[in-house]
Every structure is written in C-alpha cells, then in structure tokens.
Structure 1
Amino acid sequence: MSQPILTAAEMVAAEQAAVANGISLGQLMDRAGKTVADIACRMAGPVDALILCGPGNNGGDGYVIARELSERGCDVRVAALADPTTEIAIAAREKWNGPVEPVAGTKGATLVIDALFGTGLVRPLSDDLSKALSDHVSAARHSIAVDLPSGIATDTGLLLSPVPRFDVTVALGALKPSHVLQPAATILGRVMLGDIGVVAESELRTIGRPKLTAPGPADHKYSRGYVLVAGGAMAGAARLTAHAAIRSGAGYVALAGPDSPDAPLALVYRLADDPDTLGELLQDERIDVAAIGPGLGLTSKAEARLDRALVSGRRLLLDADALTLLAQRGVECLSECRSPPILTPHHGEFVRLFGEGDGSKIDRARAAASQAKAVIVYKGADTVVAAPDGRAAIAWPASNWLATAGTGDVLTGITAARYSQNDDPFIAACEAVWLHAEAGRRAGAFLIADDLLDTLPDALVSCL
C-alpha cells in the first residue's frame, strides 16, 4: 500500500491541522508515547529499560513512554540531556514520577529507547553524546528510535553524526524522507508506522503495489502493447530487456539489432545493423514504446541509432549507453520527443546528465525531471521516480540483492512494457519499479538478472 512521506515542515502542518480539529498537542504526545510503549512491550517484554530524553517534544514523547512502560511492569530509568523546554514536554516530565538522571555517565539497559532528537534536527550531536548513544544502543539487547534516530537529518537521509543501527524505528504519524532515503534507511532497522491521529497528506509517496488489469476478450497482441528494443554492440543486455518486456505483459516485442540473438521464440527479431534501417522500423505506427540503451555501445553507429530514435515520434525509454551518449549532447535534445520519455539513470549516469545538484535525492530527481521534461527513474537502494509536474515516489523497501549485473536491463524491459500499456509515464515507471522489486524479492538471495524473468509473471499476477 502506498504511504505518504512528509517532510519536517509538512509534519508540523499536519499536527497543527489536528489541533485545529480539536486534538491537543498533549494528546498527540500521549498517543505517540503509548504507541512506542506498545511496540516496546511486544518486542522486548517486561525488561529493564533506559529512556534517553532530549529537551524538545521528542524528549516529551520519551517521558510518556517511560510512564507507560513503568505502568506495565518494566523497570524504567530516564536519562535526560537537559530539562524540557517546550510546554507539552514540561507537562510530560511532570507526570513522570520516577527519577531523572543525566545522560552523561548513566549505565545501560536491556532495552534502550532514543528520544533525544527526532524530526527536525539540523545540527550534529556533540561527540560525547554521539558516543554515549552509540555505546548504549550497541550494548542493549533491544533498541528503538522514536520517530528517527538522533543524528539524522529528517528530509535528506543524511547522517549529521555517527549513528548506531537500531532494531526498530517508530515513524510517528507518517513516514519521513529519511525513513526511505539512504544512507539513513540502512541503520533504522525495521520501520514501523505509529498512528497518532494526524491526517498525513503529501505529493511524495512510497510506491505501492500497482493494480493491473488482465487482458479482455477484445484484446490482441498490439492492443496489449508493442515494444521495440533497439540493440547494439552487446546482444545480451538488449536481449534481457526484450525478454523482460515480454514477461511483463507486452503483447508484441521486437528486438532490432545487428546480430541474431539466442532469444525466446516469442521474441520477434529484426535485422537492423544500419541505423537507417532502425529508423525505418521505428516508423511503424503500431509501436507504442521504443527502448534504447542496454547493449547499445558508444560508437558513432550507436549515436546514429539514438538519433533515429529521438526523431521517431515514438514514446522512448532511454537507459545505459543511451544516457551516456545523451550526456555528451545535453538533455535539451529531448525536446524533439513528442511524448515525455522515461530516463532510468543510476547515480553515475545521473551525475553525468545533471551534475551533483542540491538538496536530497528527491529534490535532485524532481529538478532533473523538470529540466529534461522527462520522467526520471533515479535508481538505487532508494529509487526515486519523478515527473516534470512535480510528482515523486520512492521505492520502499528494496532488495539489496538487485545490485548485480543485468538487473537494470530487466527494469528497462519492465518499464517499457508498462509504458506501452499506460499513457502516464510516471505511473508506468512506478509500476515497473514495484514489479522489479517484487520479482527480486521472489527470486531471493544471490539472484542473477535472468532469475527475475522467471519470477516476473508471479509478481504481475499478484497485482491482478
């Protein structure tokens, strides 16, 4: 299920909206503390617990957690960095009947809960505090971070300080960008969403399971999508792309290349060693999407093939070598395309195309989509899909086992198939990213790209 992702500012606005609808900030804090306490009890049972509290509202959540755990039979200690500074945190502190000791020098516990700083942190922790937090979390049998581990920037996924890995992070009210962006996402452990009664609304969302439609009795191979894959110097990459397009529901897939590949019998092969021949093939009005880049090469002949694709009038999906060639001439040449193309760069390709850029990966993907007037699939463990109109979505969670040769070629084929059946390239790209991740999950550990071709049909069936 797709989930909204709120920035720190959007979360503040959501809380203010809840207050306007009659819920006090104190009630929200009580709900947050009870939610974390519930999770802690299910996770660890009635063990000894250390709650680390900061001076703000995250610390206020910690005092509520302490009270809740104590009432459930846990041996609870609270260590505070400083006295609470907000009205509701002060009130939460006053309701805690136990002692409060300083963080410096406090001993550890079986369960450690980090309520020092959560959403909204903009500066690094002190070296002493960072070390104390790491020592306590590393020594504990169970560890929980309230909203976000202390030391993480909410909106970018960046680590402001060294941060230990937690067992569980409880996202209060909604996911935040750092719950899904790297490198922060790596150290959060299991992310659990805690409902505290706010309405979470955002243009940024996780990519949820798509809802696909099975072909009907009136459908035929061309109505289900015609994908042409432009091959080149390396037949294997283009063959993976074409095979993935077949397996992802396209009704007709043709591979146009200089050599006859060892390919599925269902794949139509077109000899197109000469770029002009590819140009002629692309004039077929039945073609819905042309995918070019995997195995294309970087020769003058490869450039000429790309040129023919750019002026063909077909919907385009550009990946791999096509992106490298595109970077040499600039994304402005995409203005020749009649429909918004889909570009699927990994980080290195993205930087060659658009530079390092500013802001989070989400910000950079959105800026790139606007600049290129294309849908950008910025690949990685935290793949971001962005459209020129500002829409964006993030794949969460993703399998690290997909980091192997050829899986990007498979994603290109899946995306081409979905774009051949969907007029909205952003939705098509999101569907493809989800299906790719699900096929990887089903393939399991130590997968190779070819394995995804076998698990793709079951991934698609799960969406019907």
Structure 2
Amino acid sequence: MRLDGLPILTVAETVAAEQAVFDAGTHPYALMLLAGERCAEAIWRIGHKRQTLVLCGPGNNGGDGFVIARALKERGVPVRVAATGESRTESSQRARAEWDGPVEDIMAAEPAAQLVDALFGVGLSRGLDDALAERLNFLAGAAHKSFAVDLPSGVDTDGGTLLSAVPRFDICLAIGVLKPAHILFPAAGRSGALMPISIGLESGEGAAHVLAAPKLTAPASDSHKYRRGLVAVVAGRMGGASALAAEAATRAGAGYVRLVGAQAIVPLPHAIVRASGRDDKALTDERIAALLIGPGLGRDEHAEQRLKEALSPRHPAVVDADGLILLAKTGFGLLPDKAILTPHEGEFSALFGDLPGNRIERARAAARTANAVVVLKGADSVIAAPDGRARVATGVSTWLSTAGTGDVLAGLCAARLAVTGDPFEAACQAVWLHADAARRAGAAFVADDLIPHIPTAIQERSR
C-alpha cells in the first residue's frame, strides 16, 4: 500500500487529532469501534478464516483487540482472546464486556495460525517485562501470519527505538495516522508491511510527511543549457567522488555541468566541461545555478581554503562529505541563502553535535541552526527545512549502503537545485530519484550503476 505524502504524527499530535474528533461529537468508544472493525476487516481480507489468537493489553490498544476479536467472530473466524489482566480504561472495559467468549491467560495461551498483537500501542514509555516479551515473541514466531495493531508492542512511538525484544510482524495496522515508529528504524524494521487504517483523524499543519513521488516537468520549448541550470562541481583529492557527482548531475536534468579540477579523471561524458582549479572565473561565473562541493575534497588547510573560496560567490550550494566536516570548523556563516547539506549520521554529529529527539526532530533542529535544508541520510532519510517542513523516505534499498552512493545523491541534489531553484523541493526530488534508481538497479550494485537509471526515473515522473 502506498504511503506517499501521508502525515506522520507524534504521540502528542495524535492525541490532539483524536481530541478534535471527540470535540466534534464522536464518543471515544465509537472511535474505538470504528478502528477495531476496520482492522478486523483488513485481517479478514488477508487471513479469511484462519484460526486467530488476539492478545489484549490493559489499555485502549487492548480494547481495539476485543473489538477486533468480536468482529472477526461475527465473520465466522475461529477466534480466541488472551489478555495480560484486567482492562483499565473506560472504552477498553466496555469492549471487553461486549466480547462474548472466554479470555485466556496470555502466559498459558496456545499458539494459533494467526496472531493479532493488541497489547500496547501509542505512548508506551517502557518495555515489556522479560516474561511477557518472551511470550509475545514465541506466539508471533509460531503463527503463520502476524498482525500488530497500531504499533508492535515494545516500541517507542516517537523515538522509533525498541524498548524490549520485539518480534517481526508480517503486517502493522497503523490506526488513524502514521507515527514516527512506523517510519523510523529500528522500529520500522519490525513490520514487513504497513497498512494505514483510516478513522477520520486529521493532521496539523506542522506534521512531518512521508516523502511522495515528485511531479517533474520536461524542459520548456525555449529552454537552453543555462536556463536549465549550470552546475559547478568542485573536485578535490579523491577525484572519483566528484566525477560520480558530476555525472549524476548531468543525468539528473542540469543543462550544463562544469567539473572544476580533477583534470586526469577519465572517462567521463564529453558533455561535462573540465575547468582548471586555477581558473579564477570557473566558480565566480554568475550563470552558476548550483554549486556542489565536498565529495572527495579532503580535510586539510588547502581544502578548507577551497571551501571558503567556492562558497564566497554565494551561489546556491550543496555541501556534502568532507565539505561538511570542514563546515563544522568554519561555521554556517559561509552558506548562501539557498543551501542543502547532506550528512550521514557521523557527519551530522560532527556538524551539529548530540541533538536530542528522534531523527525527524534532530534534522529539523539542524536545519534551523544552519538555516539550510538538511538531508539526514540513512535507511529512513529525513529531509528538513528551516521552517519546520520535513519529509521521510521509506522503502529505500539497503543496497545503497555502499561507497559512492552519497556522491551520486549530492549530484542529484545539485542538479535539481539548479532546475528548481528551491532547496527543499530539490532535496526531496533528489532523495526520491536516488531511491528509485537504486530500485531499478536491483541488488549488489556499485554507485556507478545508479547513474544510467536516473533518466528513466525522471522520465516516469515527468509530465
């Protein structure tokens, strides 16, 4: 199921969204019934009449479980319910009272072909005790198909961390809205598939969103190379990195790519113009729409001076790799008004220190600090703007964890910045195209293999 563009709400934002529904006249139990019945519909469509064991906790997540069990039973599914103890909230008590079957002790319950985990959902602050965690893992492992209701029990909703041992579920039924733990690792890795269950909740304006596929446009009929965007890529000590970035930029929609330095790098497309690093005008050209510096730059005094010189004309810029480490020394005052920073976790820590919060919160804080768009790279890459906008990439190929793929992403960012003139939009487009190129490349690729797939990825998103 596509998640493109869906909002990602924290615990506090989810509670506020639910309260808005209650304030509009919906009773909390009516919302629980809606959530449980829609979850049951999804489970029934997937598992039909498999024998099912529903695990219910003491709170509202457990209440959802009792509603699910009753709705499945009404469809003719052989259902058993096991609980950790008594229900403690008003709605969960009501749901339990309307379940007309027995309630087993979870520690003695036998496995079933299908498991539904409704033990603990949003807002869990501590892990399951060892015995309960072990039991949950055993029952999930013994089932042919397993479902987590809202969230797998044992994950931190906002942080995306694991609070105790969490089994891997086949499907997570995300009730109402997505939460950070659905998207951020390692919690996101505890579900094979994510299925949103709509119950009419609405997000606020400040919510983060899942990165959506971009809507791109082909060049206009009166376009020429400078109107489409001149990208200047600064080479450094490791010329291969800047060469990868330059070629990616060439394939990603830029009208003209200039590689400054690295004269000995061969082969490269003849369309990439070589300029000497001693050419004073190579980086001061007013036609430059985006500058890229950092891949293979080096970290010595010469590289630092190169960074200062390259950024001084104040062209819109992408700073990556070694450039980020050097920027930690020079400060963010070097950055132009339009800038994209593309750190991985280690570079991020070197540049911004140990910021609190989850990856979304940390990327947002970093973007405000630098007054630049920040792409915090990883399996769950976060793109954040200084104004608080945030997008999170999902379903990214783990084969991207190989040398040089970050250089390709930097080249993509530079090209899309040259084309759009909008750092946030450019970064979002680049991250999506990077992931799509990786999907097309398959398995065990090297960074160079991504580049031929970029034009096809762009073509399929262009109008």
Post-superposition Cα deviations, 1:302-332, rounded to whole Å, max 9, x if no partner, equal: 22211112212111111111112222x15x3
Pick which of 126-135 and 444-453 moved more: 444-453
Instruction: Specify the alignment match of 1:16 in structure 2.
Output: 19
Instruction: Specify the alignment match of 2:363 in structure 1.
Output: 365
How far off its partner does 1:24 sit?
2.4
Pick which of 292-301 and 121-130 moved more: 292-301
Instruction: Specify the alignment match of 1:225 in structure 2.
Output: 229
Q: 1-side partners of 2:417 and 2:210: how far apart?
A: 20
Instruction: Select 2:270's aligned residue among 265, 274, 279.
Output: 265
1:228-377 mapped onto 2 (5 Å cutoff): 228-262=232-266, 263-272=268-277, 274=278, 277=279, 279-327=280-328, 329-330=329-330, 332=331, 334-377=332-375
Instruction: Specify the alignment match of 2:208 in structure 1.
Output: 204
| Structure 1: segments with no counterpart, 5+ residues | none
Post-superposition Cα deviations, 1:89-131, rounded to whole Å, max 9, x if no partner, equal: 1111111100011212211111111000011111111111111
1:40-439 mapped onto 2 (5 Å cutoff): 40-201=43-204, 202-262=206-266, 263-272=268-277, 274=278, 277=279, 279-327=280-328, 329-330=329-330, 332=331, 334-439=332-437
Post-superposition Cα deviations, 1:255-309, rounded to whole Å, max 9, x if no partner, equal: 011423221111111121x4xx3x5311100001110111112233222211112
Letter in 2 for 1:264: P
Instruction: Specify the alignment match of 1:33 in structure 2.
Output: 36
Secondary structure, counterpart of 1:238 in structure 2 = helix
How far off its partner does 1:20 sit?
2.3
Post-superposition Cα deviations, 1:26-49, rounded to whole Å, max 9, x if no partner, equal: 222112112221222222221111
Q: 1-side partners of 2:179 and 2:56: how far apart?
A: 21
Letter in 2 for 1:459: A
Q: 2-side partners of 1:200 and 1:441: how far apart?
A: 30
Pick which of 17-26 and 232-241 moved more: 17-26
Structure 2 contact 234–259 (Cα < 8 Å) conserved: yes
Post-superposition Cα deviations, 1:369-390, rounded to whole Å, max 9, x if no partner, equal: 1111111100000101111111
Post-superposition Cα deviations, 1:124-152, rounded to whole Å, max 9, x if no partner, equal: 11111111111111111110000000100
| Structure 2: segments with no counterpart, 5+ residues | none
Structure 1 contact 250–417 (Cα < 8 Å) conserved: yes
Q: 1-side partners of 2:26 and 2:202: how far apart?
A: 12
Aligned length: 457
Letter in 2 for 1:92: A
Instruction: Specify the alignment match of 2:460 in structure 1.
Output: 462
Q: 2-side partners of 1:38 and 1:200: how far apart?
A: 24
Pick which of 365-374 and 164-173 moved more: 365-374
Secondary structure, counterpart of 1:398 in structure 2 = coil
Structure 2 contact 409–434 (Cα < 8 Å) conserved: yes
Structure 2 contact 297–323 (Cα < 8 Å) conserved: yes
Query: Identity of paired residues, percent?
Result: 51
Letter in 1 for 2:324: L
Q: 2-side partners of 1:446 and 1:336: how far apart?
A: 38
Q: 1-side partners of 2:260 and 2:115: how far apart?
A: 59
Secondary structure, counterpart of 1:281 in structure 2 = coil
